[in-house]
Chains A and B, each alone.
Chain A
Amino acid sequence: MSAYRDMLHRVNRIPGVRGSMIVAVEDGLIVEEDLMVGVPGPAAAALVASLYRRARRSVATAEFGSAAYMQVEGDDGLLFAAAPPQLGDLLLVVIADIRVNVGLVRLEAQKVVEALG
C-alpha cells in the first residue's frame, strides 16, 4: 500500500468523512483516491484545486503568505484542502458530511502529513 493510500485510509476513519484524495494543485488531477461510491472524484478534484488556486492567489495578493489550508462549507457538508510543505505541489482533499468533527479532520490531516516526513 502506498504512503498516500495509508494516509487516506486514516483520514477516512473519521465519522462523517465521505472520502479523501491526493490531488495535483496545478491541473486538478487525482494522484490517489479513496472515496465512497457516488462521490464524483475527478470533478471534485478539479473544482477544489481550482478554488484552492484562487484562494492562494488572494492571500498572496494580500501578502499573507502561502495558503496552507482551505475549508469550504455548504449547508450539507464540507470540503477541506490541506497543502502542507511535505506534499509539495499536491493537496490532501477531504469531503465530509455536515456532522463531521472539523477539528478532528484537521488534527488527523496534520498527523498523517507529519508522518510522511
Chain B
Amino acid sequence: MTASPMQVRQWSDEVAANPGSPAFLPLAQAYREQGRRDAAMKLCIRGLERNPDHVDAHHLLGLLYLEAGDTVKAFDEWDIALALSPDHFGSRREIGLLSHARGDWGTAVRHLERALEADAFDQEVRDALEEAWAKQSGRPAAPRAADAPAPPPAAIAAAVAAPAPVPPAAAPVDGGAGAFDAVAREFRGFAAERGIAGALLLDEQGFVLAGDITVDGVDRGPDVAAVLSGASPEAERALRHLGLGAWKGILVETPEAVVRLAPAGDGLVAVAGTRQVPTGWVLRVAGRARESALRFLGEGGGA
C-alpha cells in the first residue's frame, strides 16, 4: 500500500526529531516506492547504525542494493537478516533467487524450498526452484510458467491450489547415511582427543550437523552454534571492509578455554580446547576437523 503524503511527512518529522526512531523503515520504504532509492538507502544505512539488529531494515537495504546492481552487498544484507532471524522468509527468498541467478543450484534449492513453505503460491520461487532441482539432478527444466501457453481459468486455480512441486528423485550420492555416520564418528573422535572439550560441524543456518561441546555433562553445542552462526558474515564483512581478504578463522581465548571457528564450504567448524593443551594443538585439531567437514560437504553430505 502506498503511503499518503501526510504519513510520509509524519515519518520524516519523527526521524528528523529522533534519528533512532523506527519510523526510518516505513519512510525508506515510501522513498523506494517513489523511486528515491538513494534517499531510501541513506535512511536505511543511518537507521541501521542505531538499530543494527533491525531485520526488516537489512532486508530492505538488500533490495535497494540489488536495484542498484550491487548483488554482493545485497547478499550480505540478507545474510545478516537471516543470521538475526532464520525465519525471515523475505531474505531467504531473495538469497534463493540470487543464488539461482548465479547458478549456485545447491544453495538456491536450500533457500527456495524454505521460502516456498512461507508462500506456496509464489510463482517466481516455484519456477526458480523447479529449474534449480532440474539443474542439480542434470535433467532439463520443465517449461517456466511464464513461457507456457496461458492456461484456462480453472487450470490457473488448480495450479495455485496445488501443493509445492515435488523434487525429482536425486541420484544416490555418497553423502547419505554412511557419510553422516563417518563424519559424526570423526567429530566424536576429535572431541575425545587430549585437551579437547568438543568439536562441532554447523551448517550455514547454524544447525549442528555433527559433534558436540559438552560442559559438565551438558551438550552446549546447539547454544554455542546459535551464537556463532552469525559470526561468519560479520567476520567476512569486517575483513573485507579493511582489505584483509577472505576470512580464514576466528580464535577466542578465555582463562579456561580456547575456541577456534573456521569456515568449511557452506558450513562452519568450531573446536573448543581446554587450557591443559597449548593453543597450537587446538588449532591443529581444528584444521583436521575442517578437512573432515570439507570432505563430508564435498561428497554432498550437506545438500
A-to-B contact residues, CB < 8 Å: 39-40, 43-44, 47-48, 50-51, 54-55, 57-59, 61-79, 95, 98
Whether the Cβ atoms of B257 and A64 lie closer than 8 Å is yes
Whether the Cβ atoms of A61 and B246 lie closer than 8 Å is no
CA–CA, A78 and B252, complex, Å: 13
Whether the Cβ atoms of B253 and A68 lie closer than 8 Å is yes
Whether the Cβ atoms of B241 and A55 lie closer than 8 Å is no
Whether the Cβ atoms of A40 and B252 lie closer than 8 Å is no
Whether the Cβ atoms of B227 and A63 lie closer than 8 Å is no
28 contacts between A and B (CB under 8 A): A43-B241, A47-B238, A50-B52, A50-B234, A51-B250, A54-B227, A55-B250, A58-B228, A61-B220, A61-B224, A61-B227, A62-B197, A62-B213, A62-B257, A63-B216, A63-B220, A64-B215, A67-B252, A69-B253, A71-B250, A72-B239, A72-B249, A73-B247, A73-B250, A74-B245, A76-B245, A79-B238, A79-B244
Whether the Cβ atoms of A74 and B248 lie closer than 8 Å is yes
Task: From known contacts A64-B257, A74-B244, A74-B247, infer whether A58 and B238 are also in contact, taking CB-CB under 8 Å.
Answer: no
Q: Which residue of B lies closest to A76 (CB)?
A: B245
**Beyond known contacts A62-B215, A65-B256: 14 more, CB 8 A cutoff:** A50-B52, A51-B234, A51-B235, A54-B234, A55-B250, A58-B224, A62-B220, A68-B253, A70-B250, A70-B251, A74-B239, A75-B248, A79-B244, A95-B242
Q: Kindly identify which residue among A48, A58, A63, A75 contacts B252, using a CB–CB cutoff of 8 Å.
A: A58
Whether the Cβ atoms of A79 and B252 lie closer than 8 Å is no
Contacts of A48 in B (CB 8 A): 238
Q: How large is the interface on B (under 10, 10 to 19, 20 to 34, 35 or more residues)?
A: 35 or more
Contacts of A69 in B (CB 8 A): 251-253
CA–CA, A65 and B242, complex, Å: 29
Give the 7 A-B residue pairs with the shortest CB-CB distance, closest first: A75-B245, A77-B244, A76-B245, A74-B244, A47-B238, A74-B239, A64-B257
B260-276 near A? 1/0 per residue, CB < 8 Å:
00000000000010000
Q: Does B300 contact A (CB under 8 A)?
A: no
Contacts of A51 in B (CB 8 A): 231, 234-235, 238, 250
Q: Kindly identify which residue among A47, A65, A72 contacts B250, using a CB–CB cutoff of 8 Å.
A: A72
Whether the Cβ atoms of A54 and B228 lie closer than 8 Å is yes
Q: Kindly identify which residue among B220, B228, B246, B257 contacts A65, using a CB–CB cutoff of 8 Å.
A: B257
Q: Kindly identify which residue among B220, B227, B235, B253 contacts A72, using a CB–CB cutoff of 8 Å.
A: B235
Contacts of A61 in B (CB 8 A): 220, 223-224, 227
Q: Does B5 contact A (CB under 8 A)?
A: no
Task: From known contacts A44-B241, A64-B259, infer whether A73 and B253 are also in contact, taking CB-CB under 8 Å.
Answer: no
Q: Which residue of B lies closest to A57 (CB)?
A: B227
Q: Kindly identify which residue among A40, A62, A63, A71 contacts B251, using a CB–CB cutoff of 8 Å.
A: A71
**Which of B213, B244, B246, B253 is the most central at the interface, judged by chain A CB atoms within 10 Å of its CB?**
B244
Interface members, chain B 267-299 (any A CB < 8 Å): 272
Contacts of B230 in A (CB 8 A): 54
Q: Does B178 contact A (CB under 8 A)?
A: no
Q: Which residue of A lies closest to B274 (CB)?
A: A64
Contacts of B246 in A (CB 8 A): 74-75
CA–CA, A54 and B230, complex, Å: 8
Contacts of A71 in B (CB 8 A): 250-251
